[in-house]
Structure 1
């Protein structure tokens, strides 16, 4: 088992590195989609729900390169507990120890109305976000971290340039200093509204690419890089009209 070295980086640095992912040396600026798929499948199949949620999980470099021991760091029993905790709408999973945190969306009621706080936002927002708490207690020299969201970041809220719940700035602040070999933002399915004809393929791709400092991948029966600008045969747009 490869030890995770704690305290290697100052806390301020940890808060700037919430989405760090290592898949080892293939080609410059690339990750290994086959290894990513195994890790995401392990978490989703054992701890996920078939509705919107997001998780962040830390792992050693060696496990990111070859996830045959992924259950050592993300035990099936813990993932089963996570699944039970995040079944209700609005739930959070933030245990005092362990290598994973997760969130469901929640409804927020204010004097002027109500809105839905998306799960990506719930994991990433604030100086003491769930991802920041996770990295503070588990991130070290030999660590990597995977960020996953069941549905793609929505074009009308999460990626809306002037939106209140825009996650572009917080992900850019976290990702921009990091080499592509060490970071990834993963989704499984396209958000329901973004499947509608009112959102064109080009508009959706443009919205996704606002996460310009974040390698975006779609992992649904395999993992595909979403960096291409070709809307006609884009692997991440499968199912989009």
Structure 2
């Protein structure tokens, strides 16, 4: 029901993930990014694994060590598909025996991709290839990878939701958290949302850090 990618930017240290699915609100359950890594918890989803995975990597565990801990503590690991990456670009991946339909995975430089119920097992590799060749902000590269996954076949049926999270070192909250929860072309809509948000991103970071020097809000009633 899902195809996704987790990655980091070697230049900025940002980590993030992007995901699309036929299910509604996929990013709310599957995508998790923190200052030191990103986790995707998918297939028959347990969102708690995303939260726990980020916490374990924040404690200093490598993605592989965190994955092994998650699988040890998870009561139904065969139903889970997990992807983890940390701020150094190390990654880990797991496909449970009960992963649905056609399952694929691929790893590359600073990225890992996977999916289930895929139209073609080569979808994750298409995502990795485009991510490695792309340039620009991490969010933009993750969206390009999603678009490549869709072009390579995507899910076996139509997708209706998509989401994107990006976190950066020193900021405790995801600086990018965009979601399309139900739309006929969710990945295109996600790309459009990013283009709207991109020029405002740093303003929101500044407002959180130092409101006195932040730019005005540009809304009725704002006299700044």
TM-score (norm 1): 0.35
Structure with the bigger percentage of strand: 2
TM-score (norm 2): 0.37
